[in-house]
Structure 1
Amino acid sequence: MSALPLALLLCVLLIRGWELPEDPENRWLSDDNPAMSYICPHGGSISVIVSQYNTKTNERVWDFACKASFKMRIHCNWTKYVNRFDEGINFSCPGNALICGVRNLHLDPYKDRKWRFYCCKSDQTCYANCKWTPYINHAEEYFSWNTPNDTFLVGAVRYHNNTKQRRWQYRYCEEFPTTVV
């Protein structure tokens, strides 16, 4: 590939942000592994979450996409597991941080996953006017969720019971740059 088409492709990616390809089924992160992990490219935060129930493995498969979110230096950390097996989740990144990655662990006896989140923040940005989505799926239902325009993902709720019922909500906020004195 010559330098010009590559440069043009990079410009298009920067203008449009990081998006899912036309065929997301080729990117599924499968839950039939003991662990699943996804981290956005540096400076990005998760902006698209797609999940589908796989009837062959009785697990969900996931896909994520990111958007450019930070212009300044950022600090990132993995949380500890935010739930135990067979428990729900009620999590928001602390201290004006965005969700920039996810990781989970599966154990067969539980048929469930423990989740961790990769939270990143910039000292020059804070988030406000936060809202929660309603539940965006029912048991074993496909879903695709995008952060609304000019907002960023900061939290997640997972309702859980042992009848394969796992429903998700997401928390998103608007950005407010701060002035460094």
Structure 2
Amino acid sequence: MWSNDFDEMLDFKCPYRHQFIANVVSHHDNDKEDRRFALSCRDIIPGGGDQGATCEHSGNVNNLDGIVDYTCPGNGYINGMKSVHDNGAEDRVWAFYCCRMPGKSLTQCTLTDWTNNYDGYQNYHVPNGYAMYGVYSVHSNYYEDRRFRYRICTVGGK
């Protein structure tokens, strides 16, 4: 079920380029001061194939203890997440894998409320009809944990 273990790298990509990360479940451990994640995917277009989808890696988007404020470029959606934990800072550096599909655009975008509390359980599901295209996260040195918000949009034709 878990995509990573505490203190280990998270390196998850959806099995197909036409999929986005649709569910994020995470659990924080106060002894390890880290989170493990269970990620799962959904088709960007129900029943659709890759249809020429292209993908790219973002590279690292934050420094340790820094804010994650990332959106996929050019109508891209988040197809994968990668993070490396540092035991000194008790935080993770994040990177994302973004894909885009020709002829599809993201519209009616919004930023979710916080999907977890510090030291709390996270169980976020992207609503039907939407796709995840960005992540906003802040780290607390007091809690040695992160809170997460997600940028989501509807998917339409260009």
Give TM-score scaled by structure 1 length.
0.80
The answer on whether the counterparts of 2:3 and 2:12 sit within 8 Å (CA) in structure 1 is no
Deviation at 1:27, TM superposition (A): 2.9
Structure 2's unaligned 5+ residue stretches are none
Name the counterpart of 1:60: 35
Q: Structure 1: which 4+ aligned runs deviate by more than 6 Å?
A: none
Deviation at 1:28, TM superposition (A): 4.6
The answer on whether the counterparts of 1:125 and 1:176 sit within 8 Å (CA) in structure 2 is yes
Distance in structure 1 (CA, Å) of the matches to 2:57 and 2:26: 22
Aligned residues between the structures: 152
Q: In the TM superposition, what are the counterparts of 1:136-147 in structure 2 within 5 Å?
A: 136-147=115-126
Give TM-score scaled by structure 2 length.
0.91
Larger radius of gyration: 1
The aligned amino acid for 2:120 is E
Q: In the TM superposition, what are the counterparts of 1:14-93 in structure 2 within 5 Å?
A: 26-33=1-8, 35-42=9-16, 43-69=18-44, 71=48, 72-93=51-72
Q: Deviations over 1:24-61 (max 9, x none)?
A: xx43521321x210000112110000011123422111
Structure 1's unaligned 5+ residue stretches are 1-25
Tell me: higher relative CO, structure 1 or 2? Use CA pairs within 8 A at least 6 residues apart: 2
Percent of aligned pairs with the same amino acid: 26
Name the counterpart of 1:159: 138
Q: Which has the higher strand share?
A: 2
Match of 1:174 among 144, 154, 157: 154
Name the counterpart of 1:125: 104
The answer on whether the counterparts of 1:87 and 1:161 sit within 8 Å (CA) in structure 2 is no
Name the counterpart of 1:149: 128
Let me know the Cα RMSD of the aligned residues: 1.3
The aligned amino acid for 1:29 is N
Name the counterpart of 1:4: none
